[in-house]
Amino acid sequence: MTVRPGPSTRVRVRRLSGHSARDRRDDLATEEPLEIRLAAPDGSRRTVAITMRTPGHDFELAAGFLHGEGLAAGDGIAAIAYCTDADLPPEARYNTVTVHLNGPIPELPALDRHFVTSSACGVCGSAGLDALRHRCAPVPGGTLKLTPEVLYALPEALREAQGVFGKTGGLHAAGLFTADGTPLAVREDVGRHNAVDKLVGWAALNRRLPLAEHVLMVSGRASYEIMQKALAAGVPAVCAVSAPSSLAVDLARSFGMTLVGFLRGERCNVYAGEERILIME
């Protein structure tokens, strides 16, 4: 019988305290590979990504990854299922998903490189800003406005929704919020970019894209990959507990996005798009 991996794994550890030791059980965040395959109506198939992730919301992860890389939008996906191909051993069934497309597998330059991602960073060799402009338009001005009170409440709201983090202490999280701070969805993963993909996949599969009036909150730093995925989903504002990278700031400024970093307590830095933050002078 094939066992489906869960988001946490129980292990036995030896805990040291001073000069004493005792054995106990500990819960760790599960990290396993996920292979994403595309299947077209003509029977053609292709592997496009292998990522290390925390099991859970795997279909959303696949849909979000494909959307962020411009390989398949929500309406281009017919179905997503765990793979039962003959070349796959039973123990790998829940670590491989097949995304069935409504049309042919796209002939894009992105498919000429084999995506290999890890839990620590995003897709290796992601497109630069110039290449990104060919497939992503700047975020429209819209009506999204955020008060400092809403911003300051986001980290705690995200933390309260992290169920697996409470058991393991080893997961990143990404949360999607409305302008008044209401949480719509929160996803966890050992990789911060995977958590964002799961959120975008949730929105894509529920026909909620673009996310023009929403704010994305992430538990770690704001990297270029996270900003790229937010841009592809139409998210105008991204907030992070830690620092942004220089390229993340460049992307935000180039595409009209709001980027907030070091959001802790009642303090933060606004690196781009300060016009969306309502400050009473």
Binding residues: 262-267
Return the SS3 of 90: helix
| Sequence-ordered strand ranges (E) for 54-162 | 77-82, 96-101, 115-116
Residue with tokens 């292709």: 46
Partners of 113 in beta bridges: none
Residue 188 token pair:
């966890």
Is 121 catalytic? The answer is yes
What is d(CA 144, CA 100) in angstroms, rounded to the nearest whole number? Answer: 35
In the set 121, 124, 136, 239, the catalytic residue is: 121
Q: Measured in whole angstroms, how far is the alpha carbon of residue 2 from the centre of its chain?
A: 27
Q: How far is 59 from 69, CA to CA, in rounded Å?
A: 16
Omega of the bond leading into 210 within 30 degrees of 0 (cis): yes
268 close to 239: Cβ distance less than 8 angstroms: yes
Report, as residue numbers or ranges, the catalytic residues.
121
